[in-house]
Structure 1
Amino acid sequence: MSVFTRSRKSTVLGGLALIGASALVLAGCSGGGTGGGDETTPATEERDLTLKIGTILPQTGTLAFLGPPEEAGVGLAAADINEAAKGITIDDIVWGDSGDTDNKAYATTIQKLISEDVTAAIGAASSGVTKLFLDDAVAAGIITFSPANTSLDFTNWDDNGLYWRTAPADTLQGEVLGNVVAEDGHKNVAVLYQNDSYGTGLNEVFQEVFTGTGGEIVAEQSYNTGDTNFDAQISAILASNPDAIALITFDEIYTIGPALIAAGYPAEDLYLVDGNLKNFGSDEKWPAGVSMEGAKGTTPAGPAPDTEFQARLNDWWVADGNSELTDYSYANEAYDAVILLALASLAANSTDAADVAGKLQEVSGGSGDGEKCDNFADCADIILGGGTADYDGYSGPITFDEHGDPTEATIGVFQYGADNLYTRIDL
């Protein structure tokens, strides 16, 4: 059995989120899901496969708080695959930093992964970052498998069947967020959003849904990645006298949130999203005395968290000296991405990226004729016994469409308490 560790001595921000239950079946055409596996391979043939994967996840940059749970998900999945001893092993993981669109760490990492001849790169977390290296990965013939990309742009990307994601597109989060704001009785809403593929896509869906309920967008302001001063945007928003403000940001929340509250805007009328939903009460970067009590937020979250699974994630993460996990965002999706890759490799009896990609829809249940299973060992036994596995993971049923988008997903709805920590609320 191989054991993987990923040591990074850094403070992990955020906190455990219990999830709400707003689900929607999605359909799309992302480009992902074609490939040339050998359909004649005997299903009972013994496997002896070594799958090489790498990560391009945020160790630095505006989404660095997502790095630890995502990397823990990747590492624990690899350990579980190896322990199962089903004819496939992951002998090494090539760990890499995606950074963000400002520090551009992804540019070095993707070339390293390509040179290392990985079958798949897990990442990035940021849609904007993935867009900047995806064409290079496609040209090199490796799979890009993101646990956290939500941009609508990937639905029609020309990716030769090599782009996949376990996170749902922003059509779902935007719909849930728009309905939550409307159900809270708000009629005149302002939006401050990040001007990239993530922010513009989520903003577009949110506005469409919210205005469809009869609400009005009274102000819309944007900013660019790397901006540090938001005084003009905040002034314009407050001048519109909104009864709620939607903040579609990343780490800029550390400046924007306190500034709005200092200006007298009530925290209970602020709405956050997956890019900035953090447990500020355990966050040293959050200014002391600034209360977010009553604020709400949404994030793709999967089914209700399995505390035993989260304990296993944490145990794996701290085994090499890392600080304990305090946030589990997208850990489920990262774990499932690796499990699906290994199952697809088993089903194809190949570690070639195109062959593996050609089996990903099948092992997720997207072809509709598989036997349900919820862990790698059981799914592998189905495949090795001549059957078709339909993996339902910690992130949900997944069920890829023919283009690589999950067709079933859950968005959580959360609310901050007096301790500046968020918990599940049922709407």
Structure 2
Amino acid sequence: MNVFTRSRSSKAISGIAVVGISALFLAGCSSSGDEGSSSAPEAGEAMTLTIGTALPQTGNLAFLGPPEEAGVAYAASQVNDISDATGLSMDVVYGDSGDTDNKAYETEIPRLLNDDVSAIIGAASSGVSLQFIDQVTGAGVIQFSPANTSDAFTTYDDNGLYFRTAPSDVLQGEVLGNLIAEDGNQTLGMIVLNDSYGTGLAKYVTEAFEAAGGEVVASTTYNTGDTTFDAQVSEVLAADPDAIALITFEEVTTILPSLFGQFPAEDLYFVDGNLSNFGDEFPEGSLTGAKGTLPGLSIDSIGEFTGALDEFVASEGDDPLEEYSYAAESFDSVILLALASLSAGTTDSAAIAEKLIEVSGGSGDGEKCTTYSDCADIIMGGGTADYDGVSGPITFDDVGDPTEASVGIYQFGDDNNYSAYEG
């Protein structure tokens, strides 16, 4: 698989797009402030960092819950493996974010905050995160999402307490819009989830596709909780587009049967919210040739991590993972929180937030390291760690957005599962 660096104006397409994206983000009002004055603890000075998760155990992104929670648990185990040397151990309190229909977060977020967590990992859905970000950051607690991609967070007034390891949809929209155009499609129809994620991503896909000379001939929306999509499918098919982009969550499993036999699978395009290994959920060959995008390094390229994650999951007696979407980003979120806490010498949320940019490499003066153990050694020795994660370099800007990011491009085979696109 080829890897390349590209600017916003480039239209080259390959299995993965790697982009420095700091120029795409606006200067926001949620600066993390000056670096804290706390110093790293001496070995043996015990601290317990308690974090919560608000990840989708239920709702329209429930398929993302297992890999994300596994990534969190695996990272926490690595923190605890060397707690005798660092003095820092970690407790995780797991919770369900649900979605904006079942509203599981309405009871889960207060429960997590009552457990005196320093940070909450989640939600996966941007629309869900926007439902409780004020509650979390207003309580002085860090909210750290491994999967939020809405551009709304870049300029959100979050008291410097919101961070994410996934890039803004400015990037995924550009990559997907250009991919659709490069495939020779001149017209595009879209079925879009009507929330901050769906409409935001659709906007950037449209901009990129039109900039490449294409025309969006239909764009129809639906709401979370809807169960029938005949009107949306009929509207898009009536416009006779060359391609259809499905900017949805798990509702795609209800939408797709209405498209089978009426629209070529190879002209369907998926996004991170619905890219899934469907397997025998649909008849063999139903999705052959369809493509999709997923922020993060190609899953094929992080096989060492996913293999180790599988072994960890098995050792815990949990069911084997069927998906790996955002597992690496979840793992990196926890490692970064632990390193920031270690560097600050405290489990105080505000102090950890002040160190997160530094340990991600955002201050530009740290020593590169790629494991929690190696980075912890640097910090314990009085140095500054610059963690390059499994999901990429990360490198936070002053509003908690990663300044370097990748978007993988995938294609479905006859078995209705996806793999890295080699076109």
TM-score (norm 1): 0.91
What is the alpha-carbon distance in structure 2 between the residues aligned to residue 42 and residue 354 of structure 1? 14
- State whether residues 30 and 405 of structure 1, in contact with CA within 8 Å, keep that contact through their aligned partners in structure 2: no
What is the alpha-carbon distance in structure 2 between the residues aligned to residue 145 and residue 54 of structure 1? 10
Name the structure 1 match of 2:11: none
Matched residue of 1:345: which SS? Answer: helix
Count the aligned residue pairs.
Answer: 404
User: Is residue 314 from structure 1 mapped to residue 325 from structure 2 by the alignment?
Assistant: no
Matched residue of 1:66: which SS? Answer: helix
What is the alpha-carbon distance in structure 2 between the residues aligned to residue 36 and residue 114 of structure 1? 26
Matched residue of 2:19: which SS? Answer: strand
Name the structure 2 match of 1:369: 365
Name the structure 1 match of 2:17: 22
Name the structure 2 match of 1:180: 179
Residue 332 of structure 1: CA displacement? 0.3
Residue 139 of structure 1: CA displacement? 1.3
What is the alpha-carbon distance in structure 2 between the residues aligned to residue 227 and residue 189 of structure 1? 23
- State whether residues 282 and 416 of structure 2, in contact with CA within 8 Å, keep that contact through their aligned partners in structure 1: no
1:48-197 superposed matches below 5 A: 48-85=46-83, 86-197=85-196
Matched residue of 1:52: which SS? Answer: strand
Residue type of the partner of 1:297?
Answer: G
Name the structure 2 match of 1:270: 268
The one-character-per-residue Cα deviations of 1:250-285 (angstroms, maximum 9, x if unpaired) are: 1111111111114x2100000000011111115xxx
The one-character-per-residue Cα deviations of 1:144-171 (angstroms, maximum 9, x if unpaired) are: 0000000011111110011000001101
User: What root-mean-square deviation, in Å, do the aligned CA atoms of Structure 1 and Structure 2 show?
Assistant: 1.7
Matched residue of 2:96: which SS? Answer: coil
User: Of 277, 283, 299, which residue of structure 1 is paired with 2:294?
Assistant: 299
User: Is residue 421 from structure 1 mapped to residue 417 from structure 2 by the alignment?
Assistant: yes
Residue 305 of structure 1: CA displacement? 3.4
Residue type of the partner of 1:22?
Answer: A
Matched residue of 2:409: which SS? Answer: strand
- State whether residues 33 and 360 of structure 1, in contact with CA within 8 Å, keep that contact through their aligned partners in structure 2: no
Change (3 A) 1:43 1:325: closer
What is the alpha-carbon distance in structure 2 between the residues aligned to residue 238 and residue 193 of structure 1? 14
Matched residue of 1:174: which SS? Answer: helix
Residue 38 of structure 1: CA displacement? 3.6
Name the structure 2 match of 1:226: 225
1:377-416 superposed matches below 5 A: 377-416=373-412
What is the alpha-carbon distance in structure 1 between the residues aligned to residue 35 and residue 108 of structure 2? 28
Name the structure 1 match of 2:4: none
What is the alpha-carbon distance in structure 2 between the residues aligned to residue 346 and residue 78 of structure 1? 14
- State whether residues 37 and 354 of structure 1, in contact with CA within 8 Å, keep that contact through their aligned partners in structure 2: no
The one-character-per-residue Cα deviations of 1:384-417 (angstroms, maximum 9, x if unpaired) are: 1111110001000000001100011110001111
Residue 92 of structure 1: CA displacement? 2.2
What is the alpha-carbon distance in structure 2 between the residues aligned to residue 320 and residue 370 of structure 1? 35
What is the alpha-carbon distance in structure 2 between the residues aligned to residue 350 and residue 186 of structure 1? 54
- State whether residues 121 and 142 of structure 1, in contact with CA within 8 Å, keep that contact through their aligned partners in structure 2: yes
Matched residue of 1:351: which SS? Answer: coil
What is the alpha-carbon distance in structure 2 between the residues aligned to residue 344 and residue 327 of structure 1? 29
Q: Once the two structures are aligned, what percentage of the paired residues are identical? A: 57
Residue type of the partner of 1:357?
Answer: A
Gaps of 5+ in 2: 1-13
- State whether residues 31 and 404 of structure 1, in contact with CA within 8 Å, keep that contact through their aligned partners in structure 2: no
What is the alpha-carbon distance in structure 2 between the residues aligned to residue 371 and residue 31 of structure 1? 29
What is the alpha-carbon distance in structure 1 between the residues aligned to residue 36 and residue 398 of structure 2? 18
Change (3 A) 1:395 1:88: farther
What is the alpha-carbon distance in structure 1 between the residues aligned to residue 337 and residue 223 of structure 2? 35
Residue type of the partner of 1:298?
Answer: T
Matched residue of 2:68: which SS? Answer: helix
Matched residue of 1:76: which SS? Answer: helix
Residue 383 of structure 1: CA displacement? 1.1
- State whether residues 55 and 93 of structure 1, in contact with CA within 8 Å, keep that contact through their aligned partners in structure 2: yes
User: Is residue 328 from structure 1 mapped to residue 327 from structure 2 by the alignment?
Assistant: no
Gaps of 5+ in 1: 1-18
- State whether residues 55 and 121 of structure 2, in contact with CA within 8 Å, keep that contact through their aligned partners in structure 1: yes
Name the structure 1 match of 2:10: none
Change (3 A) 1:33 1:81: farther
What is the alpha-carbon distance in structure 2 between the residues aligned to residue 88 and residue 228 of structure 1? 50
Residue type of the partner of 2:376?
Answer: A
Matched residue of 2:395: which SS? Answer: strand
